[in-house]
Each structure stands twice: as structure tokens, then as C-alpha cells.
Chains A and B, each alone.
Chain A
Amino acid sequence: MTSYFLRRLLLVIPTFLGITLLVFGITRMTPGGPVEKIISQGQQAMGEGAGGGGSDDRVRGQALSDEQIADLKAQYNFDKPIHIQYGIWLGKLLSGNLGDSYRYQEPVWDLIKDRLTVSTYYGVMTMIITYLVCIPLGVFKALKHKSTFDNMSSVLVFTGFSIPSFVMAIILLFIFAANLEWFPLGGFYGDEYDDMGYWEQILNILYHSVLPLGAYLFGSFAVMTVMMKNSLMDNLASDYVRTAISKGIDFPTAVRKHALRNSLIPIATHFGNNISVFLTGSFLIEKIFDIDGMGLLGYESVLERDYPVVMGILVVSSLLLLIGNILSDVCVAIVDPRIKFD
């Protein structure tokens, strides 16, 4: 078993290299990089009033000499072949340096660190509320299978599931922020945040996060509720529960002591996947509610061709995802001793 997980961990390395190499290659091979940005900015500055030459308009006089361009390329390492550039980037990464952002001239890690807090807050809240709602709801639905409550809650849960979270964000924003004005239109906290006391700050953040959390949550109930319900019903139909019942144990005890424990297995195995939720917050929701999280940082960095930040986020998110996959297998092994990996 240990050797299996060690092998899995070792396999993370080639996969990680593959992912980063692929994205690195794409960012270097496509036009619009930092050097071209500076060149076109120079052109715009020079050709002011000349009808605003397009960035690809190389015929018009260039503000920078060939030498300066070569210097710029050398500064960004763009003059070397791609595999060398990748090697340099990887070497820095191994020494714990993600590089500096082109846009902010700040270390990438500092940028990511700030946003991680925001995304983690939403990730953890979503996770906790999902478990708190789904497990009891699933159990109740399994016990009351085919009842009106079961049907109505299914309709509700699947409706939530079918609406993409960004559309849900738009709906919530439209109803509760724009029209009813119960909640703020966006932001992680309000303008007067810095002047508030500790408890007020917490309340302010909670107040601002009601709508975004709603958008994250509505869609997330379906999968786990149905999983919980089906798994409990499978177990209720199995022989060991029948035996317990026929031996005279009353139904609630049979559920609580026998069926429920086993039906939590799939829920537990799902737990490992949560690790990625911590940071890959939907950038669409963050964009709609104007929250400075990881998703939005990644999106803006791609738009602005801030490649060090793009790569930095990729490193963090892909590592967490890959390790999350392994973790969820570890969870399976811990919870269910019958399962053997080899």
C-alpha cells in the first residue's frame, strides 16, 4: 500500500512537468508577450496623433532601436530557445522563486499569497456548508424515499445543479443587490473596513459574502445530496441491515448504527477533492462580485500577458489538484479497509 502511494507521488513529477511545459510553450510561442507590449507602447507614444497605429503595424517608424529590442528580449530571456527558457524558469522554481510579475514588479508569490486568503475563505465556507446541508438532507431523503418532501427537494436541488454558478451569481445580484438592495453589489469587504473593530470586520465580510456564497453553493448541493441518498439506500437494501432488522433491532438504530456508517464512505472519499476548492474559486463569480481572489488574478494575468503570474498560479493549482487526487485515494483506503491498491 505504502509503495503504491509512493509510486503515485513520484508520478506527480512527470505530470507536473508536462502541464507546466505545455502552458509555458503556449505562452512563449504566441504573440502579444511583454516585449511586443513595450514595443507597441513605444510606437503609440511616438506616433501620437498619427492615427493610432495598430500594434502589428511594423512598417511605421519604431520608437525603439533594434539594439534596445534585443536588450529587452535578453532581459526577459526571450532571446533564448524555449527549452532553455523553461529550464531557467524551472531552476528558479526549485529554489523557491516564482519570479516577478510583469505588471506589478512584485514577487509572484506575494501576489498569490494575498489572494489565497480570499479564495480559501470562500472555499472553506462552501465546503462546510455543503457538508452540513447535504449529509442530513441526503439521509432524510433516503428515509423518506418517494415522499413529497423527497420529490420537492429533488426538484430544488437539481434546479440549482442545472444553473451555472455564474448565472446564479447574476440572478442573486439582480434580485438581492440591484433591486431589493439587501446586500452589497460586490467586493470582499466594504469601504469603511479599516475603521472597524474586529467583530464588525468579521460581520462585514460575512455580509459581503452572502451572495457570492449563495452562487457557489446552489449548484454544489446536488451531487453530494444524491450521493448520500443513493449510498444510504444501497446500504439499507443490503443483507446486513436486513439481518439486523430481522433480529429485532428497531429501524432508527439500524440506520444509525449500521447503514449510516457504511454509507458515509463515498462522501469521505470525495473529501480529498476538496483541496482544489481552496484556491480555484470561479473567476466568473469573482468577476461578477468584484472579489480579488485567485480566479480573478489568473484571468487578469492571462489577459495582460503577465506570464510569471500565470505560471505561478498554474504551479500552485496543478500541484494541489494532483495531490488532491492522491489524497482522495488515501481517504478511500483509510475509510474502507476492503479496498486494496496495488
Chain B
Amino acid sequence: MKLNPTTLKRLKQFRSIKRGYYSFVLFMICLLLAALAELWINSRAIVVKYEGHYYFPTYGAVIPGTTFGFDYDYETVYRDLQKRMAEQNEDGFVLMPLVPYNALENDFKEDSYPPAAPSLESKHFLGTDKTGRDVLARVVYGFRIAIIFSLILLFFNYAIGMTVGSMMGFFGGKFDIIMQRLIEIWTNVPFLYVIIILVSIFDATFALLITIMVFFGWTGLTFYMRTTVLQEKVKEYALAARVIGAGTFRTIFHHILPNTISLIVTFIPFSVTGGITSLTSLDYLGFGLPPPTPSWGELMSQGMEQLEVASWIIISVVSGMVAILVMITFIGEGIREAFDPKKYTTYE
């Protein structure tokens, strides 16, 4: 990909904004860690050497217990395997991830009830929730789901919003006026009421939530797009494209849109945080993704129920969420500064 000099300059500008740049680097590390979560937070072992064979269970199919000499057909419990091999001095080894639990399994102890406090010994580094699930695992996997959700939401919102917005600016006239009214109605419909009513009828799924949120969320960008396209379409390059014979579609998507990207880019980080926040608040209320999906909102509502008994739940999930949101906001602030540089005169 070849970047044009302006973009390069802006990227350089962004790098020079320390707060934004370091947040960006940190956030990328978080994304990487979340993408590879199976390798460090998982109930499946990373490597097993058993009777001279190597197994890598992380990403493959389920390996039944019988493979490793257990008498059950369901998935091997690698923690047990590790213990057994150590106790009976069997040949081979089991290499478990740093956190040997996944986000869905309930780790019940015989001598105590969950939630269990954080402990290095049990490897529940942030403790467990009220059904014995590992909090760290749920925070990390919850983050991964939230960010994927947010990005998909962003894609559809922007695709629809940009198309409709630029059409409004480009065509103007009746189409513009009618769409403006419709959008005004649309944005004033209390979206939360609708979501609560719909979710109580249909089962909330990932796809349904995305659909409803896109349905009510695409309008956010239209007015910015409309204004920019209004300004851009009368510039020489757009007129020249028309004169050469470019059609409406080509003029909008090949000529005008690329010139509005610098505006769009500055909105993206704030849309991402918006998406994460909406999902979390819906989950918090119980109208979000169906259980047992790991989610920040669900953890928060658990944590609020057990403020006094199990404060590690609320502390973990809130710190995680705040850290991520602050990072993205700082990135957004940096991008805005880099893409919309204002050189001010100062008096001393």
C-alpha cells in the first residue's frame, strides 16, 4: 500500500503526540493478547507429551479423555492429566497456559463455595465469580467479544451512514429534505425502549443485537457526511470528474469519499468506545448477549450484587474497562490532533 505524503505527514504527527501514540502501542498489545487469549487463558493445554507423542490441543478438535488413558469420552481435563502425570511419574509432560481455566467452566472446590478470592495457588489470579468462573478469563474473553462487536457495529453504521449521508449531500433537493425529517424521527426514537421490548420477545443473539443497534445507530454520521459532500461536490476536481463523464456512483465513491476520509478517521475511536459502552450497559441490564457469554456488563452486575463479599469482581472488571476506554480515547484525541492540526499563535 502506498500512502500519499499528506497521510504520511499525519501519521508522523500522530507519532509525535506521546499520549496518543503510547496508548496506541499499548492498545495494540492488548488486542494481540486478546487475539491469542487461547494460548494463555485456557483449560486446554498448550503442549502435551504422552507416550512419546506430542499433542497441541489449543486450536484443534476435542481430544477425548480416552486418548490419555482416562476412562471418559468427553474432553480431557488437562489439569487432572497434569496432576496425574506428576503424581505417577509418567513419561512425558503437560504444559498448561498461564491461567489454566477457560471463561465458561465452573471451578467448584469441595471445601468452599464460590466466589473465591484471588489466589496465586489456585491460579485464579483475579478470583472467581459467583458460579466459580475465572474472573480474569471472563474479563479478557469479554474484552475480545466487546471489541469484535464494536468493530462490526462500526463497519455497518459507517457503511450505511456514509452512503446515505453522501447521497443526501450530493443529490440535495427533495431527497435531502425527506431524509432529514426521517433521520430526525429516527434519532429521537428511544432506542433503549425498543431494544428492551425486542429482546424480551426474541432471544438476544449477537446478530440480533448488531441488527437492532445498526438499525438505530447508522444516523450518527449522516449529517457530517452531508455537510462535507455539500462542500466537496462543488470543488473543481468533482466537477472535472463529472465533465469527463464519471457517473454519480463513481463521482461519489471514487472522487469525493476519499477526500472525506480524514474527517471520518477522527470519529472512529469514539465510535469504538461507544459500541463497547452500549454493549456493556445492555449486558449490565440483562438485555445483552445471552449467558454464559463472557461479558463486562454481566460481570459488573454480579460485582454490584456482591460489593462487600466479592469486591475483586467489580475491581477487576471496572479497571479493565476503564483502562481500555481511556486508551482508546487518548488514541482518538491524538488522531484528531494529527488529522486536524491547528497551529495557534501564542503571545508571550
Q: Which residues of A contact B (CB under 8 A)?
A: 11, 14-15, 18-19, 22-23, 26-27, 30-32, 145, 154-155, 158-159, 161-164, 166-167, 170-171, 173-174, 178-179, 230, 233-234, 236-237, 242, 245, 251, 283-284, 288, 298-299, 302-303, 310, 314, 317-318, 321-322
Contact = CB atoms under 8 A, between A and B. Distances in A.
Contacts of A15: 181, 184-185, 188
B70 to A, nearest CB: 39
A30 B201 contact: yes
B197 A26 contact: yes
B318 A171 contact: yes
A35 B325 CA distance: 44
Contact of B322 (A145, A163, A251, A321): A163
Contact of A317 (B181, B190, B285, B328): B190
A166 B184 contact: no
Contacts, number: 114
B19 interface: yes
B280 interface: yes
B68 interface: no
B26 interface: no
Closest 7 CB pairs of A and B: A162-B329, A18-B185, A237-B345, A162-B325, A164-B277, A178-B307, A302-B193
Contacts of A236: 344-347
12 contacts: A14-B181, A32-B201, A158-B326, A162-B326, A164-B325, A170-B314, A173-B307, A174-B311, A178-B311, A179-B311, A298-B190, A299-B192
A164 B342 contact: no
Contacts of B181: 11, 14-15, 18
B6 interface: no
B188 A321 contact: yes
B189 A167 contact: no
A178 B318 CA distance: 15
Given A159-B326, A162-B329, A230-B342, A314 B281 contact: no
B104 to A, nearest CB: 24
Interface string B242-278: 0000000000000000000000000000000100010
Nearest to A242: B345
A317 B188 CA distance: 9
Given A299-B192, A302-B193, 16 more contacts: A11-B181, A19-B189, A22-B185, A23-B190, A23-B193, A26-B194, A27-B197, A30-B198, A154-B333, A163-B326, A164-B280, A164-B281, A236-B344, A237-B344, A245-B347, A299-B196
B74 to A, nearest CB: 32
B300 A170 contact: yes
A166 B284 contact: yes
A164 B322 CA distance: 9
A145 B346 contact: yes
A240 B303 CA distance: 56
Interface in B152-196: 181-182, 184-185, 188-190, 192-194, 196
Contacts of B280: 164, 167
A321 B200 CA distance: 28
Interface in B311-348: 311, 314-315, 318, 321-322, 325-326, 328-330, 333, 342, 344-347
B217 to A, nearest CB: 16
B304 A288 contact: yes
Nearest to A11: B181
Interface of B: 19, 181-182, 184-185, 188-190, 192-194, 196-198, 200-201, 273, 277, 280-281, 284-285, 300, 303-304, 307-308, 311, 314-315, 318, 321-322, 325-326, 328-330, 333, 342, 344-347
Contacts of B281: 164, 166, 284
A306 to B, nearest CB: 12
B269 to A, nearest CB: 10
A178 B308 contact: yes
A233 B342 contact: yes
A167 B344 contact: no
Contacts of A284: 281, 284-285
B185 A19 contact: yes
Nearest to B196: A302
B177 to A, nearest CB: 10
Given A18-B181, A18-B185, A288-B304, A314 B190 contact: yes
A35 to B, nearest CB: 16
Given A14-B181, A164-B281, A174 B201 contact: no
A185 B304 CA distance: 12
Contacts of B307: 173-174, 178
Contacts of A11: 181
A224 B314 CA distance: 30
A171 B342 CA distance: 36
Contacts of A19: 185, 188-189
Contacts of A303: 196
A79 to B, nearest CB: 21
Contacts of B322: 159, 162-163, 167, 171
A283 B280 CA distance: 15
A4 to B, nearest CB: 14
Nearest to B195: A302
Nearest to B201: A30
Contact of B193 (A155, A230, A298, A321): A298
Nearest to A22: B189
A101 to B, nearest CB: 16
A322 B188 contact: yes
A28 B284 CA distance: 27
Nearest to A251: B347
Given A23-B189, A162-B329, A302 B345 contact: no
A229 to B, nearest CB: 10
A110 B345 CA distance: 56
B133 to A, nearest CB: 20
Contacts of B190: 23, 298, 314, 317
